Chain A
Amino acid sequence: MNLFKISWKYLTFRPLSTALNIVLLALGLAIITVLLLIQDQFEKKMNQDAEGIDLVVGAKGSPLQLILSSVYHIDFPTGNIKVEEAKRLSRNRLVKKIIPLALGDNFQGFRIVGTNHDYLELYDLTFSEGKAWEVPFEVVLGSEVAAKSGLKLGDEFASSHGISVGSHDHDQHNFVVSGILAPRGNVADRLILTSIESVWYTHDEEPESEDPITSQDSVPAGEFPQDTLATESEADHDAKFHQEVSKSGFPASDQDREVTTLLIQYRNPMAAIQLPRMINSGTGMQAASPSFEMSRLFEILGVGISLLQGLAFVLIGISGLGIFIALYNSLKERKYDLAILRAIGASRGQLLVLIFLEGLMLTFLGAVFGITLGHTFLWLAVSQSEQNVVAAIQPWIFLKQELWIIAYALGVGVLASIIPAWSAYQTSIAKQLTKA
């Protein structure tokens, strides 16, 4: 027998009220846990994915959408831009590096990104198997794509048009897996990388009759128009498909080609001032800065987050009050018990500890339960969403701040126990015992 055991017995003696208080506290703390985890991982991930990208250039439209679609690969692209115009921009002396992206297709919901080898370098990607693409239609899978789709080196698959599952398939020419990337913990894990040529040729291949819905003048933004130049000879095809693709810069083409967006690194700080203005006013394209757009996004989300935080604090407050009331009420019934304990040798201090222990045990259980609940909740949310950014959150990472949640909960426990514990401390045994 010890004080811990006695407190525990008292708690389990009224299981319903104990459970209610634990659940209330746990709910509040679970919300805080989820917010902490999301905030931490989101911001980390967002910053990590945008690292090395100073500016994104694409078709005119929403700058946030442009960033979301071309850096994080979540939203729809704003449209396409002419390669000629992009090439002109790449010759600007303020541009250190320019990485073109051609978006618009997917495989089982994983986005296919046409780019060059600079993109691999940008994220410092390494291969767990195979190597980078060399000829058209060779692709490299992100680690998550490989794991979820089950595709292996040398496997073939057909892409689908559009960036979400369910569009029609490009079954004219299959992609071949040439490499699989090592997990990097960033956006590349969820992408299928290939050459820009692959994306172009996929769309060249499509005979128009196969897709009556997508006529040339109603091409959805960001998706490649079905090229009508399907007049090349078979021999031409073969030569083109086995030619090595360009590994950096823009691929050469004799036709009017398009890319979706450009990822740009500045040469010097001056560029940050001059380049966006120059692009936005001097060309038909739009420039957006990832850091600026993301801080704007967080500002918007901030309102919702503080609302949730408020709710969490209300819940915690109520549970604190609940614990206080439960302890206080049970103390009224227990004054006699306490007097008896004093009569058989317990000191005032021990009774004080006894009540505090009860409050602390309650809140500690609530904290542990709440943190577990938060992680489980996040895990559920993650397992429900397959492709989007939420899927990239790891629900079982434990943060240092979660220790603060426990400390915070214990603080609530102490606060709720102060008055009951003090009144237990003050109990006069003789008076209690003679009351009968």
Chain B
Amino acid sequence: MLLETSYLQYAHPGQSMIAFPEIKVDKGEALLVLGKSGSGKTTLLNLLAGLLNPAKGEIKLDGVVLSSLTGQNLDLFRGKNIGIVFQKPHLITALNVNQNLELAHFFSKKKGQEISHLLSELGIGSKANSSVLTLSEGEAQRVSIARALANSPKLILADEPTSSLDDENTEKVVQLLKQQASKIGAALIIVTHDQRVKSHISNFIEVKSS
């Protein structure tokens, strides 16, 4: 198994404990995390990304227990092995498209996928030197996907990647994520409440806050 979790629990300060179902995902597999808003989907994603520390249980990615890493090592491990696609693109506006992707290479100290090739595969090759302010919503989301893929991560996490996109773009984005994940042999986890995504990925777990 590439990614395994066991008895994950987490409590936000002043709130009751959330218990998460076990997750097992292998290379090239995709998994949906479903649930109502406020159910703790995003919290699970943050846990998986090592952005939050679980109160109980552990996450094992490619044999490494995330909670055993701290500080700089954890940041670097995340940069090298986990690609995150956020709900909104959140590109660095001071940099152009190309530089936004170079950032991923720089901080992870890893020469992943070739940027121009990646961009043209995602259909935004012509935008490489554009300011990110000139991109449309769909284009920006694709750039943020490219950023998540730039280091050829082992795990791709996507947090409601389609919530602000129309049907056509939703379809494209999900397809892209699936294709790219299987191409680089990464596990793909999409957190969503978007029904349109379900038709593409059958494998799912549900998060319920108790």
Contact = CB atoms under 8 A, between A and B. Distances in A.
A317 to B, nearest CB: 28
8 contacts: A13-B94, A343-B49, A344-B79, A344-B151, A346-B75, A348-B71, A348-B75, A433-B86
Contacts of B182: none
B88 interface: yes
Interface of chain B, main secondary structure: helix
Given A1-B106, A350-B107, A340 B90 contact: yes
A311 interface: no
B94 A9 contact: yes
A336 B92 CA distance: 9
A337 B75 contact: no
Given A345-B108, A346-B75, A430 B103 contact: no
A280 interface: no
B52 A430 contact: yes
B51 A345 contact: no
A347 interface: yes
A263 B76 CA distance: 78
Contact of B84 (A6, A343, A349, A436): A343
B72 A436 contact: no
A94 interface: no
Contact of A2 (B52, B87, B93, B106): B106
A430 B99 contact: no
B39 interface: no
Interface string A328-363: 000000001100111111111110000000000000
A275 interface: no
A10 interface: yes
Nearest to B103: A1
A434 interface: yes
Contact of A430 (B46, B71, B106, B151): B46
A133 to B, nearest CB: 71
B26 interface: no
B72 A349 contact: yes
A243 to B, nearest CB: 83
A68 B53 CA distance: 78
A9 B95 contact: yes
Contacts of B147: 344
Contacts of B72: 347-349
B9 interface: no
B116 interface: no
Nearest to B101: A1
B78 interface: yes
B154 interface: no
Nearest to B89: A340
B104 A344 contact: yes
B103 A433 contact: no
Interface string B98-137: 0100111111110000000000000000000000000000
B93 A345 contact: no
A430 B51 contact: yes
A36 interface: no
A429 interface: yes
B105 A342 contact: no
B67 interface: no
A337 B90 CA distance: 7
A325 to B, nearest CB: 18
Contacts of A429: 51
A225 B193 CA distance: 107
Contact of A345 (B78, B92, B94, B95): B78
A6 B106 CA distance: 11
Given A337-B93, A341-B103, A346-B75, 17 more contacts: A1-B105, A6-B95, A13-B93, A337-B92, A343-B84, A344-B103, A344-B104, A344-B151, A345-B75, A345-B79, A345-B109, A347-B71, A347-B72, A348-B71, A348-B75, A433-B86, A436-B88
Contacts of A346: 75, 79, 107
A237 to B, nearest CB: 84
A375 to B, nearest CB: 33
B46 A9 contact: no
Given A429-B51, A430-B46, A434-B46, A345 B76 contact: yes
Contact of A433 (B51, B95, B107, B151): B51
A184 to B, nearest CB: 55
A86 B95 CA distance: 80
